[in-house]
Copies of this chain bind each other. A is one copy, B any other.
Amino acid sequence: MHAFVTGGAGFIGSSLIDRLLADGHAVVAYDNFSTGQRAFLTAASRHPAFRLVEGDTLDLPALTRAMGGCDTVFHLAANADVRFGTEHPRKDLEQNTIATFHVLEAMRANAIRRIAFSSTGSVYGEAHVFPTPEDAPFPVQTSLYGASKLAGEGLIAAYGSGFGFEGCIFRFVSILGERYTHGHVFDFYRHLRRDPTRLTVLGNGKQRKSYLYIGDCLDAMLLAMAKTRRVIDIFNLGTDEYCEVNDSIGWMCERLGISPAREYTGGDRGWIGDNPFIFLDTAKIRALGWEPRLNIRQGILRTLDYLQQNPALLEARA
Contact = CB atoms under 8 A, between A and B. Distances in A.
A153 B93 CA distance: 13
30 contacts: A85-B162, A86-B162, A86-B163, A89-B104, A90-B105, A93-B97, A93-B98, A93-B155, A97-B97, A124-B138, A135-B138, A136-B137, A138-B138, A140-B157, A140-B234, A141-B154, A141-B155, A141-B157, A141-B158, A142-B158, A143-B158, A143-B161, A147-B154, A147-B155, A150-B151, A150-B154, A151-B151, A161-B273, A162-B272, A162-B273
A135 to B, nearest CB: 4
A4 interface: no
A154 B146 CA distance: 8
A236 to B, nearest CB: 11
A155 to B, nearest CB: 5
Nearest to A169: B140
A77 interface: no
Interface string A155-174: 10111011100000000000
A139 interface: yes
A115 interface: no
A98 B31 CA distance: 24
Contacts of A136: 137-138
A101 B125 CA distance: 19
B140 A137 contact: no
A240 to B, nearest CB: 20
A160 to B, nearest CB: 8
A130 to B, nearest CB: 15
